[in-house]
Amino acid sequence: MSGTGGAQDAVRAYKDVIGELDAASAALRERDSGRADVLRHRLVELGKAAAEADHHAALARFAVAMQWDSVVDALWKEDWLTLRIPPQPDPGPDGGPGPDDVEALTVAVERAATAVRDAGRRWTFGPRGR
């Protein structure tokens, strides 16, 4: 009968190991479920952030187009100057804003457009201050 007792011990040890594995897998499922919830929430946040960034970029492109049209209108009388296609961002070697720095580029475009319009106003009826 010692064979039966050894078999029962082996079965009991097997059941114990299976029980531990089952408990470990349940704990992993619970932990992974919590992680999945966090990741789903983060994915929604990132989707909203991406949509907001896309909207912001579209507004920036629109603002730049409006500034470009304003500059072209201000310089329409300059026959020698042909302005057809707006230039692309070209950061200077001094570490100016890069093409991904939408805020800084938008501010730079506004300043440059204002400078062109101001210069055009000063020269409308000849240089001032003479």
Q: 17-27 pLDDT, tens per residue?
A: 999 999 999 99
Residue 128, in any domain of the structure: no
Spatial CA neighbour of 63 closest among 103, 100, 99, 92: 103
Residue 52, in any domain of the structure: yes
Residue 76, in any domain of the structure: yes
d(CA 117, CA 130): 20
Q: Looking at residue 29, what is its pLDDT?
A: 95
DSSP 41-57: HHHHHHHHHHHHHHHHH
Determine the structural domain holding residue 50 and report its residue range.
2-122
Residue 3 has pLDDT above 60, yes or no: no
Residue 110, in any domain of the structure: yes
Q: Looking at residue 7, what is its pLDDT?
A: 86
Residue 27, in any domain of the structure: yes
Amino acid at 43: L
Q: What confidence category does residue 92 fall into, taking pLDDT thresholds of 50, 70 and 90?
A: low
Report CA 25 to chain centroid distance, whole Å.
38
Residue 40, in any domain of the structure: yes
Residue 61, in any domain of the structure: yes
Q: How much of the chain, in percent, has pLDDT values that exceed 70?
A: 76
Burial of 30 (0-12, 13-18, 19+ CB in 10 A): exposed
d(CA 121, CA 129): 13
Counting the structural domains of the chain, the total is 1
Comparison of pLDDT for 110 and 41, the residue scoring more? 41
Residue 127, in any domain of the structure: no
What's the pTM? Answer: 0.56
